Chains A and B, each alone.
Chain A
Amino acid sequence: MSNIVKLFVNREKQTAGFIKMMEGGTPKRVMIIEAGGGLGKSWAIEYMREECQRRKVPNVEVDFADGVIYDFLAVLRRARDSFGASAFNAFTQTINQVTQPTLRIENVGSSSSNITLGEANNLAGANVTVGDVAGGNIIKDNSFVINADSAVVRQALQDRLTVAFFECLEQLTAQGPVCFFFDTYDKVTIEAESWLLTQLLPRLRERQLTNVVVVIAGRSAPKLDNAWDSIIARTGLDLFKVEHATEYLVQRCGLKDEASVINALFQASTGLPQLLAMLAENILRSQDTGGQDDWL
């Protein structure tokens, strides 16, 4: 049993809903978990991912707080690598095509080209591996950052890559469900949000993609009007009740079942899972001084 499964309590409603979505038991395709800090959104996502792993459902997690600069291509790459690059050969090929150094497009009003590799608009010095092939699959694309003097051209390239990505994804979903997890949505980049709201979610609503489940969690959620209600399930995360705290502290963390201690910890945590975990940590570490090392 993984750590998260061991520690996870009281999110049956969300997990059951997620499983139902994955199994196609509901027309809802998107779960939005909007809740304050410390309520266990990331844990819930981690738990759902565990469920995916268990069922061998391809899934990808994009955590907008992980320090990666998520432009649209970073999201697509993360998805490709998580779902399995072999299913996305065409997409990888498209990346390589649009980064061919022969395509030089210049816009009026600026002196530099809008598609460059590395810094000098050529392959030298850039970390480029065009179309490496292993076992018949293109496993690596040009590692590049799209520079564009024209937002229009960049959008055009983005559209082309997105189309290629979704074609691959469509083929993948024909074999079974796939899941996208977007965590810490309150820190989503504008570009990633734009891709999500104008590319991925509309395809779900229009049923162009069927076997795809999306979970979005964060302190804030995307602003979507009622037109999306048919595919979206919105939920929050409740504070723990005392029985959940007991279950967590006693059964998962191994604390003694002393009502006074449990109650005190529960009240101190105010039902916040993260705080409860820290308090439990305090108790568990109370005898541990961190070893002999003093780190400084």
Chain B
Amino acid sequence: MIGSDARNCPACGDMLRSTALFCPKCGTAVLPSVSNALQVSLGQILNSVKPGQAEVMRRCAIPRWFDSEILGVLRDRQDGANEKILAQLETYSFVRQLSNGRYSYSDDVRDLLLDDWRQRPDDLRPIQKRLYNYFERRMGSTTSENRATWLREIVTYDLLLASTTLVKDQQESENPWIITPSAVAARVERAILRFRSLFESAFNAHRMAEAEAILIAAEEQVNILAPTIRQWLEYYRGKMNHASLRLPEAIACYQQLLKQNNLDTELKALSSISLGDVQVENGSWSAAINSYQAALDLPKLEPGQRAAAHLGIGDAYNEIAISSGGWHIASQPQNPLVRTLRNWVLALGTVPMFILVTLLRRAGAAVPPAAILVRYQNWMLARIFRASREEVLAAYAIYKERNDQSNMARCEMRLVDNDVLFSSIKQAVILAQDLLDHTKPENTYRRARVQVTLARALLADRQYAAAQQEVEAALKVFCAVDDGRWETRALSVLGHIHVSKQQPEPALDAYRQGLERAVQIGSVLSRERILYELRVWRRTRADYPPAIDTLLDTASSQRFVNRFPRFLVPYLQIGQSVVVPILVLLTSIVAPNLQPPTVIRTTSNILLPAPTVYTFPWERLIISPLLVLLIAALGYTLLGLVVLWRMPLKQLRQNQPDIYVIHADELVHYDHQGHEAHRIKWSDITTIATADRKLWIRPLPVFSRSIIESKNQPVLRVEGIISWYNTACRIIQERTQAAGAAFSNVDLSFSLLRSRSGIVLITGATLLAVMVASINQWVPDLAALLPASVFAALQLLAYSGVLMIGPMLFWLVIRPLRLRHEFALDRRIPKIIAGVGLAIVLLFIVTNGSIVRVPILSITLFLAGLFLVTETGYQLSVQERQGRRTLVMRSIFQMVMFAVGLMVVVGPIKREFYHARAHAYTVQSNPNAAKDDRVLEAEQSTLFFSNQMDLEIAIAKTDARAWSEADQEYTAIINDPTYDPFTQTLARHNQAQSDFLRCRNTQTCSAAEYARIIAQADRVLEQIRDPQAQSAAYETQADAYGALNDDAKALEKLLRARELTTDAEQIRQLDIKINDRKR
């Protein structure tokens, strides 16, 4: 005990009084250390007075302050000496007078004495109990004004007494402070409840200073309080921090608490919910949702807490959605033609969406109308609003069960807002009107809030006058009580009403006032709401007042939010990238039609199939893409609805959209967890690189981004999917310039259609269109007009699609990979691209080179796939900073691989060329040249496209007078059931004709052999209906009959052949033969 402990002299070892400064024996100064100097000094004072005085002085340290009455309690006697003692105490330097008659010890002295008391708990407890009783008595007799002061003291002692009660271990103990463990627990619980009640009564009435004073009093001796009490105090410290907007401190309190294993379930639930509340306010919505979810996952949760958690999640989702700025409003092209075309395409795309969504809405589903859902930018927003609605409904159900009217009203207001957003206008108006009817007239403030909600619904219902009346009435109330947040909301609604009524001036006034008020009260959401309204006005009305520009430009702080969490961007990029290629691919599969097989007759009366020609029937050419588009629109609709209903929210919980806040002096970026990731002063910016991809002028959102480099900060990527991307980029540029930053602008943007690659693509599309028109004979046949080789080359170029696929590769692959290499962006992109390339190559191999029906297009796709694999491989090598040797080896390997690929397709390309030229020759009535090209085509050895061209090979052998081998080939074809009958018939004819040619050349054939040739020709005539082929067969028969000197028969057959043919060359030949026979 202070003032009673002894010590020895360090010089002579003599026993010293605890308070001695000198050794009385040797005179050595016995100086206390700094740490115990105060203790020694205090001990000295206590030792110097009578024991009773010292004890009272010690006791005065127990309460936080004392007056004469409390002194009486401490002394346990009211003998009239208290005033006198107080006067004596006042003379000590460590006693401070707080106010008239109220004193306290200095903190250091009191702490020392309290430490001392903790060594004597048995002596301390009765005094604390007396103080507790005194404060209870005093509270009962005081005015309400001071009641809180005494209550604070009571609960403090209650907590202390409960914490210092000992647990009974011996039945015979007579100590009244020793009780059973259950009684101790009950006492602790009672003390906590009392504390909570007191704290919360002050806290809920927003008497923050009082609530804090209660907490501080309880925390004063926190280290000796029971663990459960300490945990509750930590929880309320968190609440206090939250209320005073010390959000990081509040989060730390709750997180610290939730780490503890032995946490009471109720406290755990409350802490999780409160943590969620702070995180919502802090903008960490994803974390907030996780916190609420953690509360919901607790096994025993009070219904009220469950409802609060649901409502919290609903609010967090709502905040995520609202903070992204509202529904996406697409910009309108300025060119009326383009605008009309775009709107038509959009309307077509909306048809399935409109049908399905209308059906769903009629069935009572909460979905936004088709006009909103048709834009993919709104899907995620709609999903979030739906999630929010579901949570609010869950909370509403619980509140309804408990008949908690006020919380039901909170939920209903949110539901009305949700209905307005989803354009369930009538429903919203009815609900809001009902809500207002049930709000007591005397509850002016509450009515005003409901009136704003109702006004919003009425505005959506185009009841402008009624909406204006409600919102103006509400506005008066908010102005009267200075509620800036709701005032700005009301002004925002009022502005919107005026815009709808086409009253620009009053609308501007309302928005301007709202904006000023929002800035004044520092409400970010209020400010952003109005900025959003202004931007929508500017975008949707061509005649918007120019003052909007000024308002938007002068807003010093503006927030831009990603319309999607970043993790979705690659999926969107892939989704959008494949749409056009898939459309082209599907069209290339569906549209071409093979002409029925025809024949070419050579001058030696050999027949061979004419080259196949693809035609493009108009109905397929128009209807097919339309059908494909319609199917795509249906798929798009279904995808949208899947996102709306089934999109897992788990990902979203962990990935909220990024936020970019543009201030007057800096740019702040909050990442997917709501943490501040960048804070860049404008003057620190060194580079602004713009990497936008545009179709014409406007950036394509998911393919565009700006990259900002600055001193001492990591590279910042501003995604094109943020709301109002162009505006954000412009402001960033302007503010960086205004700050005088020495920065460079790097323009990596390009417009797809206005670039050289765009010109190539347009050329490719035009060439294809011309070719299609030509082959369909909508224009003169190019095959007849152009030299055969030129025609073949052009057809190859058009059908290969290389002029369109090339630019697409450049846009979708090469540039993104280069950018990635330069800025180290998403690491998954090259791997995804390489995967796509590999899939195409494998598909080419598996389908035997027939990925699509047009062979040359298959070849282009194969080469494109190969390019994707090799290019991404190379870029990955560069990115991974591999050693030069490895890099060279990989490069060589990839080049070899690409070269092998090229070699593989050289044969097929040549063959396609000969095929196309053969067609041109056929059209140009040059059957021999056509036959030669067909033969050349057949002779190309390839790994792929092993088409059955044995007939052409057999013909080549006939031409080479290899009669026997030719005969074997023809026989093989005739006997091979895999050949189609048409080819077999041609082979049969060619066999007969080949036999005849052999006979004529060798002059060794018997009559029987000629008879067999005639019989073969007869069978040909039975099997084939093509007049050209029949004509050739008759001619063969005529030649055979001629060899047998049966002139009549020969002439008859020649005349039949002459009747059937239209081939000028054959007619000429037949005429000569007929004349010969007649002679």
Q: Which residues of A contact B (CB under 8 A)?
A: 37-38, 42, 63, 65-72, 74, 104-112, 114, 116, 118-119, 125-127, 143, 145-157, 159-160, 187, 189-192, 194, 264-265, 267-270, 272, 274-275, 277-279, 281-282, 285-286, 288-291, 293-296
Contacts and interface: CB of A to CB of B under 8 A. Distances in A.
B666 to A, nearest CB: 14
A278 B41 contact: yes
A154 B49 CA distance: 52
B226 interface: no
Contacts of A270: 34, 37
Contact of B209 (A119, A152, A191): A191
* Secondary structure of the B contact surface, majority rule: helix
Interface stretch (B103-111, B509-517, B645-653): B103-111
A156 B445 CA distance: 13
Contacts of B619: none
Nearest to B439: A108
B622 interface: no
B238 interface: no
A147 B207 contact: yes
B351 to A, nearest CB: 42
B950 to A, nearest CB: 87
A125 B144 contact: yes
Contact of B41 (A159, A282, A291): A282
Given A151-B206, A274-B108, A296-B52, 14 more contacts: A38-B38, A42-B96, A66-B99, A66-B102, A69-B149, A71-B210, A109-B406, A145-B145, A151-B243, A265-B21, A278-B41, A293-B53, A295-B75, A296-B75
A116 B205 CA distance: 9
B383 to A, nearest CB: 27
A278 B45 contact: yes
Nearest to B29: A264
A279 B43 CA distance: 11
Sorted nearest first, the 4 A-B pairs with minimum C-beta distance are A156-B482, A71-B209, A294-B52, A296-B52
Interface string B15-28: 00001011000000
B1007 interface: no
A76 B88 CA distance: 34
B44 interface: yes
29 contacts: A37-B106, A37-B107, A38-B106, A65-B107, A68-B99, A71-B210, A107-B445, A110-B406, A119-B144, A126-B145, A127-B145, A145-B210, A147-B207, A149-B205, A150-B206, A150-B483, A159-B482, A194-B244, A268-B40, A274-B94, A274-B106, A279-B41, A281-B92, A289-B49, A290-B49, A290-B88, A294-B53, A295-B52, A295-B85
B41 A105 contact: no
A157 B207 CA distance: 13
A72 B212 CA distance: 13
A106 B445 contact: yes
A275 B41 contact: yes
B108 A71 contact: no
Contacts of A190: 208-209, 212, 240, 243-244, 246
A293 to B, nearest CB: 7
Interface in B549-563: none
Contacts of B29: 264, 267
A194 B246 CA distance: 11
B449 interface: yes
A282 B56 contact: no
Nearest to A38: B108
A194 B204 CA distance: 19
Contacts of B7: none
B51 interface: yes
Contacts of A289: 48-50
Nearest to A155: B482
A104 B49 contact: no
A290 B84 CA distance: 12
B209 A264 contact: no
A294 B50 contact: yes
A205 B867 CA distance: 66
A189 B212 contact: yes
A72 B445 CA distance: 24
A282 B40 CA distance: 11
A106 B446 contact: yes
A295 B53 contact: yes
B190 interface: no
Contacts of B22: 264
B37 A105 contact: no
Given A67-B104, A69-B209, A267 B481 contact: no
Most chain-B CB neighbours within 10 Å: which of A109, A118, A143, A295?
A295
B212 A191 contact: yes
Contacts of A194: 244
A145 B446 CA distance: 22
Interface in B190-231: 204-210, 212-213, 216
A278 B94 contact: yes
Contacts of A116: 205
Contact of B483 (A125, A152, A265, A272): A152
B443 interface: yes
B53 A281 contact: no
B55 interface: yes
Contacts of A267: 29, 31
B485 interface: yes
Given A274-B93, A278-B93, A296 B446 contact: no
B787 interface: no
Interface stretch (B407-415, B799-807, B997-1005): B407-415
Contacts of B101: none
Nearest to B34: A270
Given A65-B104, A295-B53, A105 B75 contact: no
Contacts of A148: 205-206
A290 to B, nearest CB: 4
Contacts of B94: 274, 278
Contacts of A67: 64-65, 98, 102, 104, 149
A90 to B, nearest CB: 18
A162 B992 CA distance: 116
Contacts of B50: 289-290, 293-295
Most chain-B CB neighbours within 10 Å: which of A109, A151, A157, A191?
A191
Given A42-B96, A69-B210, A295-B75, A282 B48 contact: yes
A15 to B, nearest CB: 20
Contacts of B41: 268, 275, 278-279, 282
Contacts of A156: 481-484
B93 A153 contact: no
A118 B104 contact: no
B330 interface: no
B674 to A, nearest CB: 22
B481 A147 contact: no
A191 B244 contact: yes
Interface in B78-95: 81, 84-85, 88, 92-94
B126 interface: no
A147 B206 contact: yes
Given A63-B98, A69-B213, A152-B483, A111 B37 contact: no
Nearest to B98: A66
Contacts of B85: 293, 295
A282 B482 contact: no
B635 interface: no
A285 B450 CA distance: 72
Given A69-B213, A108-B413, A156-B483, A191 B208 contact: yes
Nearest to A69: B213
Contacts of A153: 445, 481-483
A152 B34 contact: no
A264 B204 contact: no
Contacts of B442: 104
Contacts of B81: 293, 295
Nearest to A286: B48
B209 A70 contact: yes
B102 A104 contact: no
Most chain-A CB neighbours within 10 Å: which of B19, B52, B93?
B93
